[in-house]
Amino acid sequence: MAVRIADIKFHKVEKPLNQPFVTVLQKVEEREATVVVVQDAEGQEGYGECVAFSTPWYTAETVVGSRFVMDTVLTPLLKGQLLDHPTDAARLFSKVKGNQMAKAAMEMAVWDLFAKQKGMPLYEYVGGVQSPVPAGVVVAGSSDQLVGNVKAAIESGYRRIKLKISPATDAAMLKKIVAAHAEISFYADANGSFSGLALEELLPFDEAGFALIEQPYGEQEWAAHRMARANMKTPICLDESIHSLEDVQRMANQQAGDIVVLKMGRLGGWAETLKIVEFCKQSQIEMWVGGMIEFGISKAHNLALASLPEIKLTGDFSDSGHFWQTDIISPEIHVEHGEINLSEYPGIGYKLKI
């Protein structure tokens, strides 16, 4: 079944967060994103969301830069094309360097459209089986807010909580929080804030009881991550370091990590991500799906990814209401008893509401 990409449209979205999201990297108070709509000849629509931030604090891409690339570089490559398979989109984009978030937004919209043409939920179209998907939330901010925020998350039903850490974090206090909630799986995310020359700064966090520690060192600090992995009992998980299958292979070859965070925006879309899932399955590397303060279009794609049987660890899946007063999809995404039911409608299964 071939799909003609007859038209491509973009919508700018901008919303304040319910609460400022404060990490060592950035204070985010407002989120901008670009929604991509691809249309086939019959006017059926596929949706993607570009997850680049307003400024380049997490990856090098930005809202304005990614829009430029989507408009002037990627649209001419995709518009009017007759695609036999959704992987054709990534192939058409392959001569463009970098710009994974821009590519992913458009490529993911194409996957949604193919699933809709087949009349299948996207999660089934990609081979997913797990519904509901377990929910997971991130708790950031200063240490005096931490205890209360963790308590609130548990009361909302979350069974997996990610805490942001940095060298300034009191590891002994986190150890107490983790010990007080034996039924909860706690992850720690450092966003590369530790110095690769000072393993001793990180070691106190090895005693805190985290299920994993995410990205203690910078994106390119493979040797430091290898050192941490060799000297710690807590599994080391890489987020910012992973831009492609090649990076996952490097992690494996250099024994620089145990676990990979999958983010389709950072990886350029479904095609590259599915290659990584296959490699990790063969190499027995565990995976989970990460979030980036996303709106519902992106989250719906992420939920479909998390439904794959190879993905065993709980990802960043919070309720639409966690970050937003109102999300951009209908219905919104809801956490019930610590889980999210996947939509059974074709494609991502949510309507765009902007």
CA dist 343 and 138 (Å) reads: 23
Q: How many residues bind ligand OSB (CB under 6 A)?
A: 11
Question: Does 316 engage in binding with ligand OSB (CB under 6 A)?
Answer: yes
Contact residues for 93 (Cβ-Cβ < 8 A; gap 6+): 74, 77, 78, 103, 106, 107, 268
Question: Does 237 engage in binding with ligand OSB (CB under 6 A)?
Answer: no
Contacts with Mg ion, residue ranges (CB under 5 A): 189, 214, 239
Question: Does 40 engage in binding with ligand OSB (CB under 6 A)?
Answer: no
Residue 9 near residue 37, CB atoms below 8 Å: yes
Which residue is closest to ligand OSB by CB?
A: 291
Name the minimum Å distance from CB 79 to Mg ion: 34
| 3-state class (DSSP) for residue 279 | helix
The one catalytic residue among 97, 164, 175, 275: 164
The one catalytic residue among 103, 116, 162, 263: 263
Kindly identify the residues of this chain, within the stretch 261-290, that bind ligand OSB according to CB under 6 A: 290
Which of ligand OSB, Mg ion, none interacts with 291 (beta carbon under 5 to 8 A by kind)? ligand OSB
Question: Does 293 engage in binding with ligand OSB (CB under 6 A)?
Answer: yes
| 3-state class (DSSP) for residue 183 | coil
Written as six digits, the tokens of 10 are 């973009």
Give the DSSP letter of residue 72.
I
Is 263 noted as a catalytic residue in this protein?
yes
Is 9 noted as a catalytic residue in this protein?
no
Of these, 8, 36, 58, 74, which contacts ligand OSB (CB under 6 A)? Answer: 58
- Tell me the DSSP string of 300-342: HHHHHHHTSTT--S------HHHH-SS-SEESPP--BTTEEPP
Of these, 191, 193, 241, 302, which contacts ligand OSB (CB under 6 A)? Answer: 191
Contact residues for 279 (Cβ-Cβ < 8 A; gap 6+): 245, 248, 249, 285
Name the minimum Å distance from CB 290 to Mg ion: 6
CA dist 120 and 118 (Å) reads: 5
Question: Does 186 engage in binding with ligand OSB (CB under 6 A)?
Answer: no
| Residues recognised as catalytic | 164, 263
Residues that bind ligand OSB (CB under 6 A): 58, 138, 189, 191, 239, 290-293, 316, 318
